[in-house]
Amino acid sequence: MRHAIVIVCLLSFTLSALAESQSIRVATYNIASGMKNAGDLEQQLSLQSSLKFKKIAAIIQHKRPDILLLTEFDYQSGTQLVDLFQQNYLSQAQFDQQAITYPYSYAGPVNTGIASGLDLSGDGKTGGPADAWGFGFFPGQYGMQVLSRYPIDTKAIRAFQKLRWNSMPAALQPINPKTNKPWFPLNIWSVLRLSSKSHWDIPIQINGSTLHLLASHPTPPVFDGPEDRNGRRNHDEIRLFADYISAQKSAWIIDDKGVSGGLEENSLFVIAGDLNADPFDGDSTNQAIAQLLQHRAINNNCTPQSQGAVIDSDKQAGVNLTHKGNPAADTGKFNPARVGNLRLDYVLPAKQILIHRCGVFWPAADEQGAGWIDASDHHLVWVDISL
C-alpha cells in the first residue's frame, strides 16, 4: 500500500511538472501609445529609433508571452501596423533581450473616433471626440492588437463592436439626477453602442484545443458628470463578458454578424484587457470588476502582483495612502494627488484552466527592466496556464 501511495505521488508530481513545462503565457499590456493623429503610429513604427517602442518591445521580449493583447495600439484600416512593430522592434534585440516573433496576429475596427452624428456628450454640439461611438479624435485611436504563437481561427472570430447598449437586460442607463429622467434622449439611447472600443472572442488553436481570448478595453469610469454615463458604461462593458461566459444569461448578446448567444458551457477562455476598474479603489461603478472576480466560471486563484508596485505606492504616497486594496496588485501608475496607483489590467482564465503562476512586470529600481517601464503608465500583466 505504501509503495502504491509513493507511485501515485510520483505520478502526480510528474504530470504536474509536465503540465508546467507545457504552460502557455497569456498577457495583456496597455502600451499607452498616445498618438494624437491618424498615421502617427505608422510613422513611429516605420522607424527603428523610437525609444518608447524599444522599451515596449524589450518588456515583451523579456516576459515572452505566447499570447499577447496590446491595448491603445491604434487600428488603421488597410495597413498592417503590427508587421511594422514586429519587423522594426520585436524582431530586433532590445536592451540585450532576445528577439521574439509572433506568426499570428489579429486587429479589427473599434468604435473610438467613429463619428456617431449625434450629441453624445450633451453639450449641444456634434462632431467632437466625445460624440464618437467611443471617445477618440480619429477612427481607430486606442485600438487593440493581438499577437500569438499559436494559430488564430480568424473565420470564427466574433466581434461585438456594434452591439447596442439598450439591448442589455436591466442595463445601467444613465439618469439625469436633476430630472430623474434618462440622461440620453430616446433617439440616442436606442442606437448607442455598448462597447467603447470593441469586444472580441478570438479562438486560438493550441495542441488540439480551442482557447477563446476574450479581449476588451472598457471606457474609463471618469470624464463625465453626476449622471455617471462613463462609469455605468464601464460597468456594463465588463458585464458583457460576464454574461457572455454565462450560458443562462447570454441569449441577449448578438455579434456583428447577427449570431446570438455566448460561449458554450465549459469552453476554455481567458478574459484579458485593460478593464479600467479596480476592485477596491478608484471611481468604478457598483463594484464593476466584481462581476468577473466573483464569477463562478473564472479561476481567480492567482492575483498578479509585483514588489515594484508596493515600493512605488509608498514612494508616490498621496491618495495611495488612503487606498484599501493591496498595492502589490496594482497595474497602473497615475496622478498621486487625484488617482494613485490602481489595479486595472486583468488576465482571467476559465475555472477549469490550471494556473501555474502570474505576475505584473513592475520591477523595483534595482531590478532588470526598471528603466523600461516609463514607456507606459500601465504594466504588463501575465498568467502562465495549462489547458
Are 82 and 166 a contacting pair, CB within 8 Å?
no
Amino acid at 47: L
SS3 89: helix
pLDDT digits (tens, 9 = 90+) for 148-162: 999 999 999 999 999
Query: Does residue 104 surpass a pLDDT of 80?
Result: yes
Tell me the pLDDT band of 316, cut-offs 50, 70 and 90: very high
Residue with cell 439625469: 176
Cell of 264: 458554450
Give domain status of residue 218, yes or no: yes
pLDDT digits (tens, 9 = 90+) for 240-251: 999 999 999 999
Q: Give the strand pairing for 209-216 and 268-274.
A: parallel
Tell which residue, 109, 177, 172, has the closest CA to residue 144: 109
Give domain status of residue 12, yes or no: no
Q: Indicate the average pLDDT of the chain.
A: 95
Query: Does residue 384 surpass a pLDDT of 70?
Result: yes
pLDDT of residue 16: 54
pLDDT of residue 9: 45
Query: Does residue 147 surpass a pLDDT of 90?
Result: yes
pLDDT digits (tens, 9 = 90+) for 167-197: 999 999 999 999 999 999 999 999 999 999 9
* CA dist., res. 102 & res. 147, Å (int): 6
Give the number of other Cβ atoms within 10 Å of residue 356's Cβ: 16
Are 304 and 381 a contacting pair, CB within 8 Å?
yes
Any long-range contacts for 176-185 (C-beta under 8 Å, 24+ apart)?
A: 176/227, 177/226, 177/227, 183/122, 183/227, 183/229, 184/120, 184/229
Give domain status of residue 31, yes or no: yes
Tell me the pLDDT band of 349, cut-offs 50, 70 and 90: very high
pLDDT digits (tens, 9 = 90+) for 50-84: 999 999 999 999 999 999 999 999 999 887 899 99
Query: Does residue 1 surpass a pLDDT of 70?
Result: no
Give domain status of residue 65, yes or no: yes
pLDDT of residue 84: 97
* CA dist., res. 335 & res. 333, Å (int): 7
pLDDT of residue 113: 97
pTM: 0.95
Give domain status of residue 231, yes or no: yes
Amino acid at 365: A
Give domain status of residue 4, yes or no: no
Give the number of other Cβ atoms within 10 Å of residue 170's Cβ: 7
Give domain status of residue 1, yes or no: no
Instruction: Calculate what percentage of the chain has a pLDDT beyond 70.
Output: 95
Sign of CA dihedral 184, 172, 330, 375: negative
As a whole number of angstroms, the longest Cα–Cα distance in the chain is: 80
Length of the chain: 387
Tell me the pLDDT band of 368, cut-offs 50, 70 and 90: very high
pLDDT of residue 79: 77
pLDDT of residue 10: 44
pLDDT of residue 22: 84
Query: Does residue 11 surpass a pLDDT of 90?
Result: no
Count of domains observed in the chain: 1
Q: Given strand 67-71, what is the order of strands in its sheet?
A: 104-106, 144-148, 67-71, 24-30, 381-386, 354-360
Tell me the pLDDT band of 13, cut-offs 50, 70 and 90: very low
* CA dist., res. 315 & res. 341, Å (int): 11
Tell me the pLDDT band of 12, cut-offs 50, 70 and 90: very low
Residue 301: which domain range? 21-386
Give domain status of residue 202, yes or no: yes
CATH number at residue 119: 3.60.10.10
